[in-house]
Amino acid sequence: MKSLRKQLSLSILLTLLITIGLIGLLSNWFINREFEKYITELGRERRENIVDDLGRQFDGFKRNWKLDYVHAIGMNALYDGYILKLYDAGGNMVWDAENHDMSLCGQIMNEISARMEERGAAGGFVDNTYEIDQNGKKVGAVSIKYYGPFFMNEADFNFINVMNTVLLVIGILSSACSVVVGCLLARRISRPVTKTAYIAKQISKGNYDIRFEPGTRIRELDDLADAINHLSDALKSQEKLRKQMTADVAHELRTPLTALSSHLEAMIEGLWDATPERLKSCHEEVKRLGTLVEDLGQLAKIEGENLVLNKSRMDLFEIVHTVSDTMKGEISKKNLTLSIKGSPVFAEADKNRFSQVVANLLSNAVKYTPEGGAIEIEVYETDRLGIVKVTDTGIGIPETELPLIFERFYRTEKSRNRKSGGAGIGLAIVKSIVNAHGGTVTVDNIKEQGSCFTVSIPKEG
């Protein structure tokens, strides 16, 4: 299995090499095509100039040709690769390059043919005849034999070779640079990924204190580093809560079991008489164990995937009044003042489950509000949400513990026993039910004292 760095290096290198190769081939093809068009156009202009030069060598008054100049033009054209034959108006031969120097003509033709064959160009010698006019009157004709559709001289070949060499050198240098850049880029990308993999392995082994410091200057990799760090924090928090929950469950079970065991042992050994009061005390401990098991069962059911909500259109204000009426006895025992404000608010919700939410929040407020305190429940709505707010004048919640208040078995006052404070499951049940409705539950401290729980659920299910 190849490493990420090696795979990235090979992929980047292959991509760059293919790109450079295609650019080189396309550049070579384009330059050669344009140069051939240029040479073809240059040859056409050269032949037109030959015809014009020869036309100026006819003396219209004497009706003859200036043969010395014709000879010079013909020889210059021969060295350029053009073999001329000049005829007068009657079709009679005036000057012929092949008759003048047959061997030189053959040598030039062979050199041009060999040069063009070396290049791989398709073509051959062609012979075109051009009329020579003077003052609108035909005075002769010239036959020009040349290699068509185009041919190049030695200078042209040298130019093309230099261009190809330049392209080759550029390609080699670009390839070398691509190798270096590809390796550096692959290293820059792979290092944080490799480090992230190492950190993830350490986290899987329980080392939650390890951290990845962002700073790759690559947004996605920095996001990955942040996600790994958040994962580490979350797992550390969950591990802490798990250990705390285990200790809390053990404590919650140990306390009533210890009391029950000691009472029964004393009665079995005859140290205590089995009086109704002592049996009632044992029964109370059994009831506490049953309540704890029931709470745990409810939480498991609510947090499980099998929770089914029987939603219907209901009045949140009416539910608050109904739940409050069932708890009037507990409220009166502590001489608390309960006020309910608001107006009817209709929402799609499970009536029994939402009643449990209100009951848990109200019970929580009653437990932690000193005698003579006050509890206020307010029901109102926004465009899309139905909101129930429960405010008390109780002991409040430390700011550092607000994010943890809805965790299982979490209690702000560790010294509080189960009889006065419960097992710390009620708020976890509240959060699970509200989340199942697609809503939210939050808690805030009141400036003077006490706390405020706010439940928001969508009015439309």
CATH of domain 308-458: 3.30.565.10
Answer whether CATH 3.40.50 is correct for domain 4-172: no
Q: What is the pLDDT of residue 116?
A: 78
Q: What is the 3-state secondary structure (H, E, C) of the chain?
A: CCCHHHHHHHHHHHHHHHHHHHHHHHHHHHHHHHHHHHHHHHHHHHHHHHHHHHHCCEECCCCEECHHHHHHHHHHHHHCCCEEEEEECCCCEEEEHHHHCHHHHHHHHHHHHHHHHHHCCCCEEEEEEEEEEECCEEEEEEEEEEEECCCCCHHHHHHHHHHHHHHHHHHHHHHHHHHHHHHHHHHHHHHHHHHHHHHHHHHHCCCCCCCCCCCCCCHHHHHHHHHHHHHHHHHHHHHHHHHHHHHHHHHHHHHHHHHHHHHHHHHHCCCCCCCHHHHHHHHHHHHHHHHHHHHHHHHHHHHCCCCCCCEEEEEHHHHHHHHHHHCHHHHHHCCCEEEEEECCCEEEEEHHHHHHHHHHHHHHHHHHCCCCCEEEEEEEECCCEEEEEEEECCCCCCHHHHHHCCCCCCCCCCCCCHHHHCCCCHHHHHHHHHHHCCCEEEEEECCCCCEEEEEEEECCC
Q: What is the pLDDT of residue 457?
A: 93
Q: What is the pLDDT of residue 419?
A: 47
Spell out the domain ranges in the chain: 4-172, 308-458
Q: What is the pLDDT of residue 414?
A: 47
- pLDDT by residue for the chain (461 residues), tens only, comes to 556 667 777 777 788 778 888 888 888 888 888 888 888 888 889 889 988 998 888 887 888 888 889 889 888 888 888 889 899 888 899 888 888 778 888 888 888 888 777 777 777 888 889 998 888 888 899 999 888 777 777 777 788 888 888 888 888 888 788 778 777 877 777 777 777 788 888 888 888 787 777 666 677 777 877 888 888 888 887 777 677 667 766 766 776 787 778 878 888 888 788 788 878 878 877 877 776 777 677 666 666 555 677 889 999 999 999 999 988 888 888 899 999 999 999 999 999 889 989 988 998 889 888 888 999 999 999 989 999 999 998 888 777 777 777 776 665 554 444 444 455 677 888 888 898 888 999 998 876 678 899 999 998 86
pTM value?
A: 0.46
